[in-house]
A = this chain, B = another copy of it.
Amino acid sequence: MNNKINPERGFAELEFEQRLIEAQKVMKSYKLDGILVTTPQNIRYFTGYDSQFWESPTRPWFVVVPASGKPIAIVPEIGESEFKKTWLDEIKSWPSPRPEDDGISLVKSTLEDLNKTYGQIGAEFGKEMTIRMPVRDLFKLKDSVNTNIVNGSDAIWDMRIIKTNAEIERIKFICSIASDAYNELPSKLRIGDTEREAVNKLKIDVLNRGADNVPFMPGISGVGGVSQIVCGPSDRILKNGDILFIDTGSTFDGYFCDFNRNYAFGEISSEVERVHETLWLATEAGIKAAVPGTTTDEIWLAMNTIIQDAGAIGNNVGRLGHGLGLQLTEPPSHRPGDNTRIVENMVLTIEPVMEYAPGKMIVHEENIAITKDGSRLLTKRAPRQMPIIK
């Protein structure tokens, strides 16, 4: 069913070596002797380790990226054999679960063995990150280790916010799969379907086309638009005059797409047509604004001017797009005050939102990669007219 040529899964060792070189440069500028990571995305970024077992929160996993030398993994025995297949040389493990010492003494000794140039280690303490270990154990580690553990998230984001070409290739592939499935969806939808049935049709098509997983696919409907975009699908039945919003973060080889499409049922009001056209134009403006050298504030402004001029009454989303990659949402944010400088190889969503009447919201979204002098679409552009399901 999938006649695309998939990018290979997994990265060449050279890719990880280059990420490490970059990481060690960044660490130097932040005066860090190393970085300690615990989350699926960051561990995968530095090691390539891929597992669905992150769904089990019982055991913590750790990777230490030193200021010189290769990353060191400290993982439960259940993961040891597969970690030995990564490009890392040093894998430490312990029999887990062992709540009285779930890896903490091993992490402590590993951190204490690092060269102490600056006396501080960066950890996932900052924005759009959490730390995946019991906080109780983090406190224990912080209090007993002979170095400071500080916020390393800014350093990590400095690296991850700029994608390699191999990363962009994967995002483009999952965008392309989801685009094709969205484009085929009108032929599968019927008035009388429930939101849940509509989402399931898309989900199964996305899987059949070669996505690895579909961690995020809300589907929400309402007369002339939706009141929110985070909860759904429900068993609501799609009827004449409804707009169905479907969004997806599907994945390939760890990388997300993140974009939505809208479908009208039966008939579409001229007001909805007008708002749809406004958002289509705002998306054009956002894409055009997203060039190296500008800022997220300016991208926001390019879209927001069009939306406000068309009579928007609100936006509970709080921004008009963001970064994406190993996470569905990553820095930066297109919003006033974010003020991130746009550079080549960022991957961004362009996501204008317009509430045009109380509880009636329409959202457009595309994914782009910043090029040397502009951007390129990773998604296949939404149709200028909203598809109507008769």
Which residues does A use to contact B, with CB under 8 Å?
9, 49-53, 55-59, 76-82, 95-99, 102, 123-136, 138-139, 151, 153, 200, 203-204, 207-208, 213-218, 227-231, 235, 249, 316-319, 322, 327-330, 333, 335, 359
Minimum C-beta distance from A55 to chain B (A): 4
Q: Is the CB of A318 within 8 A of B135?
A: no
Complex formed: what's the CA distance from A249 to B57 in Å? 13
Question: Closest B-chain residue to A135, C-beta based?
Answer: B125
The reply to whether A207 and B200 contact each other, CB–CB distance below 8 Å, is yes
Chain B residues near A136 (CB-CB < 8 A):
125-127, 151, 153
Give CA–CA (A359, B235) in the complex, Å: 46
With a CB–CB cut-off of 8 A, which chain B residues contact A139? Answer: 125
In the complex the two chains form, what is the Cα distance from A35 to B218 in whole Å? 30
Measured between beta carbons, the chain B residues less than 8 angstroms from A51 are 218, 230-231
Which B residues are CB-close (under 8 A) to A216? 52-53, 55-56
Identity of the chain B residue whose Cβ is nearest the Cβ of A319 in the assembled complex: B97
Q: How far is the CA of A207 from the CA of B217 in the complex (A)?
A: 13
Q: Distance in Å from the Cβ of A127 to the closest Cβ of chain B?
A: 5
Asked whether A229 and B78 contact (CB < 8 A) given A131-B130, A135-B131, A207-B200, the answer is yes
| Residue ID in chain B nearest A94 by CB atoms | B318
How far is A149 from B200 in the complex, measured between Cα atoms in Å? Answer: 42
Given the contacts A130-B132, A204-B208, A231 and B138 also touching, CB distance less than 8 Å: no
Contacts of A218 in B (CB 8 A): 51-53
Complex Cα distance, B231 from A80, in Å, reads 11
Partner of A78, one of B57, B78, B208, B317: B317
Query: A230 and B82: CB pair below 8 A?
Result: yes
- Collect the chain B residues with CB atoms within 8 Å of residue A316's CB: 77-78, 80-81
Q: Do residues B249 and A55 form an inter-chain contact, with CB atoms below 8 A?
A: yes
A363 to chain B, nearest CB (A): 11
Q: Which residues of B contact A80 (CB under 8 A)?
A: 316
Q: Which residue of chain B lies nearest to A235 when distances are taken between CB atoms in the complex?
A: B9
A55 touching B153 in the complex, CB below 8 Å, given contacts A124-B135, A125-B135 = no
Q: How far is the CA of A50 from the CA of B234 in the complex (A)?
A: 11
Question: 30 A-B contacts, Cβ less than 8 Å apart?
Answer: A51-B218, A51-B230, A52-B216, A53-B218, A53-B231, A55-B215, A57-B328, A57-B329, A58-B127, A58-B330, A77-B318, A78-B229, A78-B230, A79-B228, A79-B230, A81-B227, A95-B318, A97-B318, A97-B319, A124-B135, A126-B134, A126-B136, A129-B134, A130-B130, A130-B132, A130-B134, A200-B208, A204-B207, A213-B214, A215-B215
Cβ–Cβ contact B134 & A135, under 8 A: no
Please give, as numbers and ranges, the residues of chain B lying within 8 Å of A95 by CB-CB distance.
318
Check B128–A57 contact: CB distance below 8 A.
Answer: yes
The CA-CA distance from A9 to B319 in the complex, in Å, is: 32
Residue numbers in B under 8 Å from A134 (CB-CB): 125-130, 153
Instruction: Tell me, in angstroms, the Cα distance from A97 to B63 when the chains sit together.
Output: 28
State whether A56 touches B204 (Cβ < 8 A).
Answer: no
Q: Is the CB of A76 within 8 A of B318?
A: yes
Q: With A and B bound together, what is the CA distance between A135 and B150 in angstroms?
A: 10
A228 touches which of B82, B98, B132, B318 (Cβ 8 Å): B82
Which residues from chain B contact A330 at a C-beta distance below 8 Å?
Answer: 58
